[in-house]
């Protein structure tokens, strides 16, 4: 009697995650929006018709949207479309680099707290608790007030306030991973702690970092816009979206397009990252799978 055995195809976790992600239509929409703004930030400034501070005070001041000026002009006669495109590079750079800084520092502190426990865990966790006791935007305002208003200091402040989020996330992940059999086996053969931490524990903690990092970029863009709106972030004439909103306050009745288009850019970018982050969470988190 012959028995035909079908060889079961082994699918890697990342391929399975990609398969799940592709089935999520909203996640694909979010990925498309994020991709569009990333491409806009990379190539947009090279193809826009005018520079960020090309002023036409006499002939083009406060012009409404038209075939010549797609998004209209501001109170200095500057092309708002060109400034919004340039602002994509600034806002995305602040969001990306601030979150990268938060991930690096927060992951390092979270790994130390979760792996060594004891006094190390107590000190780091109390620092996180103190930072989380303050509303994030107020803490960012305080940091920028000490360092001085600028785009670079706003980036540093946003990175600092997001450190506890990633630190606590990695700490909880380390506490569960460190009890796995392969970690105990690595300890039993005398493997060094640094190798265990960065070659075994950290790679197994990447899925939640990726998800939280994607969502954190959206939050960082909003926080950068809020600081710019309050005059604590980018300074004129840099076309940061929050700064553009602040400059449009006096003209929101006579020239509402000055406020509408930077605001739409913020809304769409944040929406894209949130949809993408939710899709990644559904794809990478085993608890979300049926």
pLDDT tens per residue, range 178-236: 777 777 777 777 777 777 777 777 777 788 888 888 889 999 999 998 888 888 887 87
Work out the pLDDT band at 11, boundaries 50, 70, 90.
low
Q: Output the six-digit token pair for 211.
A: 């998800």
Q: Measuring CA to CA, which residue among 277, 258, 176 is closest to residue 219?
A: 277
Which residue segment(s) compose the domain that 177 sits in? Answer: 35-288
Average pLDDT, the chain: 83
CA 12/CA 41 separation, integer angstroms: 33
Looking at residues 147-167, what average pLDDT do you find? 91
pLDDT at site 250: 82
Any domain includes 216: yes
Per residue, the 3-state secondary structure of 181-212, as one string, reads HHHHHHHHCCCCHHHHHHHHHCHHHHHHHHHH
Q: Per this entry, what is the length of the chain?
A: 290
Any domain includes 72: yes
Burial 109-148 (b: 16+ CB within 10 A, else e): bbbbbbbeeeeebeebbeebeebeeeebbebbbebbeeee
* Proportion of the chain above pLDDT 70, given as a percent: 90
pLDDT digits (tens, 9 = 90+) for 39-89: 998 988 787 767 777 777 777 788 888 888 888 888 888 888 888 998 899
- The phi and psi torsions of 79 (rounded to 5 degrees) equal -70, 115
Which residue's entry shows tokens 């930077």?
Answer: 262
pLDDT at 177 over 70: yes
Q: Which residues are CB-neighbours of 284 under 8 A, at least 6 positions away?
A: 17, 207, 208, 210, 211
pLDDT at 6 over 90: no
CA 280/CA 20 separation, integer angstroms: 9
Looking at residues 87-109, what average pLDDT do you find? 91
Q: Which residues are CB-neighbours of 45 under 8 A, at least 6 positions away?
A: 85, 86, 89
Q: Tally DSSP H helices, then E strands, for the chain.
A: 12, 0
pLDDT at 9 over 80: no
Any domain includes 24: no
Q: Output the six-digit token pair for 175.
A: 């506490």
pLDDT at site 118: 83
Work out the pLDDT band at 20, boundaries 50, 70, 90.
confident
Any domain includes 183: yes
Any domain includes 11: no
Work out how many domains the chain is built from and give that number.
1
Looking at residues 140-156, what average pLDDT do you find? 90
Looking at residues 247-268, what average pLDDT do you find? 88
pLDDT at site 286: 54
Q: Output the six-digit token pair for 290.
A: 């049926």
Any domain includes 3: no
**Long-range contacts from 23-28, C-beta under 8 angstroms, 24+ separation:** 24/279, 24/282, 24/283, 26/275, 26/278, 26/279, 27/275, 27/276, 27/278, 27/279, 27/280, 27/282, 27/283, 28/279
CATH number at residue 160: 1.10.3720.10
CA 230/CA 38 separation, integer angstroms: 26
Least confident of 25-29, 58-62, 152-156: 58-62
Any domain includes 65: yes
Any domain includes 156: yes
């Amino acid at each position: 009697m012959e028995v035909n055995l079908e060889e079961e195809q082994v699918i890697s976790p990342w391929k399975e995650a990609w398969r799940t992600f592709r089935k999520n239509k909203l996640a694909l929409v979010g990925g498309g929006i994020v991709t569009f703004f990333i491409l806009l930030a990379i190539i947009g400034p090279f193809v826009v018709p005018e520079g960020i501070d090309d002023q036409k005070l006499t002939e083009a001041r406060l012009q409404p949207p038209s075939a010549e000026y797609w998004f209209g002009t501001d109170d200095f006669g500057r092309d708002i479309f060109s400034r919004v495109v340039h602002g994509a590079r600034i806002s995305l750079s602040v969001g990306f680099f601030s979150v990268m800084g938060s991930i690096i520092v927060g992951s390092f502190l979270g790994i130390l707290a979760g792996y060594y426990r004891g006094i190390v865990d107590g000190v780091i966790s109390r620092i996180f608790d103190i930072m989380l006791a303050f509303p994030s935007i107020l803490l960012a305002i305080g940091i920028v007030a000490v360092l001085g208003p600028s785009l670079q200091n706003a980036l540093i402040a946003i990175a600092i306030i997001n450190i506890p989020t990633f630190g606590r996330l990695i700490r909880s992940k380390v506490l569960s991973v460190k009890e796995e059999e392969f970690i105990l086996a690595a300890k039993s053969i005398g493997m060094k702690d640094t190798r265990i931490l960065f070659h075994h524990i950290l790679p197994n903690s990447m899925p939640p970092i990726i998800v939280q990092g994607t969502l954190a970029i959206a939050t960082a863009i909003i926080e950068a816009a809020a600081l710019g709106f309050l005059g604590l972030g980018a300074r004129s004439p840099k076309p940061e979206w929050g700064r553009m909103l602040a400059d449009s306050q006096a003209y929101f009745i006579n020239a509402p397009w000055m406020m509408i288009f930077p605001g739409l850019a913020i809304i769409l970018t944040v929406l894209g990252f949130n949809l993408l982050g939710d899709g990644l969470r559904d794809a990478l988190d085993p608890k979300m799978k049926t």
